[in-house]
């Protein structure tokens, strides 16, 4: 019993710590950019259903009832499994609140170029908040009625909540996986949180299975499914984060002359002719000094020719006399 209690306590502390990186990342960045609003909606409602499920299971009700006859330490040890789901619900609800506070990109503390996609509309944030609160209120009302009347359908309601939690948990990562894949970067999603929670989810599912057995499938099954989906998201996030760091490192590389050494990177701005704004313009002297090889020199000359064809200021046109008259006849007469 002591070893089992110690393992439950360790998991409880680890669960609490695992959510802290996500909370800190949203607060420090000042935005929930990169986090899908539907991931928040499904995750919060799933956590609510899961917490209500374990509270209503017969084994959990028995553990709580035994607290009247047990000492404080023994009572706490008996309800640690319930506390684990309670902590998860509290933490995810706090992340839900942070999402609503920081859903606008305009209040972020990160450079604009690091923000991907468009910020969720206020209507979306309002919808997420409304559905989450309505779901929680419905669970409380139905549960209270069944407990008050002593309905034999309480166990069926508990199993229904567990099934609902499992379904919501199973699909909650799909919108987040899609969002991360579309943005091609992590945003405010916390990789350290997922690194802790993914293996911890499998461990948590095992601890609930040891406590509830096959009869508690609706409780431990949630975490088994969630850990699997979170592992997929973690792999995707790590891949994009490593790729972003490689690109940043390549962009900061310089050659022996101190010039940026990143020809493989996509140019910042491409003109219609496919030339980027890092190539010297038409009147750059000695274009060969900007080129490392003949191919780059040819691109510079092409850029200069393109600039000359696009020039609309007479002073700068070939043979221009520096006056504002653009009439070719007058221009030719003035030259004669």
Predicted local distance difference test score (pLDDT) of residue 192: 92
Predicted local distance difference test score (pLDDT) of residue 4: 60
**Structure pTM?**
0.66
Predicted local distance difference test score (pLDDT) of residue 314: 54
Predicted local distance difference test score (pLDDT) of residue 268: 43
CA angle (41, 44, 48) in 5-degree steps: 135
> What is the radius of gyration, based on Cα positions, of the chain?
31
**Joined tokens for residue 331:** 């221009």
Q: Would you tell me the crossing angle of helices 80-101 and 2-29 to the nearest 10 degrees?
A: 0
Cα–Cα distance, 183 to 174 (Å, whole number): 14
Predicted local distance difference test score (pLDDT) of residue 166: 82
List the pLDDT tens digit at each of the 336 positions of the chain. 566 666 667 777 888 888 999 999 999 988 888 899 999 999 999 999 989 988 888 777 776 767 767 666 666 666 777 888 888 899 999 999 999 888 776 667 676 666 666 667 888 889 999 999 999 999 999 999 988 887 778 888 988 998 898 889 889 999 999 999 988 888 889 999 999 888 877 887 887 788 778 877 766 877 788 888 899 999 999 999 898 888 877 766 665 655 555 544 444 444 444 444 455 555 456 666 666 677 777 777 777 777 666 666 555 555 554 444 444 444 444 444
Predicted local distance difference test score (pLDDT) of residue 265: 46
Residue 259 three-state SS = coil
User: Exposed, middle or buried, 228 (CB in 10 Å: 0-12/13-18/19+)?
Assistant: middle
**Please, which residues bridge with residue 276 across strands?**
270
């Amino acid at each position: 019993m002591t070893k089992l209690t110690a393992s439950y306590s360790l998991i409880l502390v680890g669960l609490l710590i695992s959510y802290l990186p996500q909370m800190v990342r949203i607060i420090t960045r000042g935005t929930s950019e990169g986090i899908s609003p539907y991931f928040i909606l499904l995750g919060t409602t799933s956590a609510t259903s899961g917490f209500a499920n374990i509270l209503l299971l017969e084994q959990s009700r028995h553990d709580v009832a035994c607290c009247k006859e047990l000492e404080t330490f023994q009572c706490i040890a008996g309800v640690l499994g319930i506390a684990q789901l309670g902590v998860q619900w509290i933490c995810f609800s706090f992340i839900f609140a942070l999402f609503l506070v920081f859903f606008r990109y305009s209040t972020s503390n990160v450079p604009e170029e690091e923000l991907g996609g468009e910020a969720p509309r206020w209507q979306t944030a309002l919808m997420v908040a409304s559905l989450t609160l309505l779901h929680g209120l419905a669970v409380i009302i139905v549960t209270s009625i069944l407990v008050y009347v002593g309905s034999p359908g309480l166990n069926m309601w508990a199993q229904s909540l567990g099934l609902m939690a499992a379904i919501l948990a199973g699909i909650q990562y799909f919108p987040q996986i899609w969002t991360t894949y579309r943005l091609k970067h992590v945003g405010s999603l916390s990789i350290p949180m997922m690194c802790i929670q993914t293996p911890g989810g499998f461990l948590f599912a095992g601890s609930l299975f040891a406590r509830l057995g096959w009869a508690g499938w609706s409780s431990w099954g949630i975490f088994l499914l969630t850990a699997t989906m979170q592992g997929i998201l973690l792999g995707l996030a790590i891949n994009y984060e490593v790729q972003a760091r490689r690109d940043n490192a390549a962009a900061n590389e310089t050659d022996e002359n101190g010039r940026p050494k990143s020809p493989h990177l996509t140019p910042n701005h491409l003109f219609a002719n496919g030339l980027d704004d890092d190539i010297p313009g038409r009147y750059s002297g000695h274009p060969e000094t900007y080129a490392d090889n003949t191919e780059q020199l040819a691109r510079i000359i092409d850029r200069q020719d393109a600039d000359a064809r696009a020039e609309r200021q007479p002073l700068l046109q070939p043979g221009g006399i520096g006056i504002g008259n653009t009439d070719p006849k007058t221009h030719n007469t003035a030259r004669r």
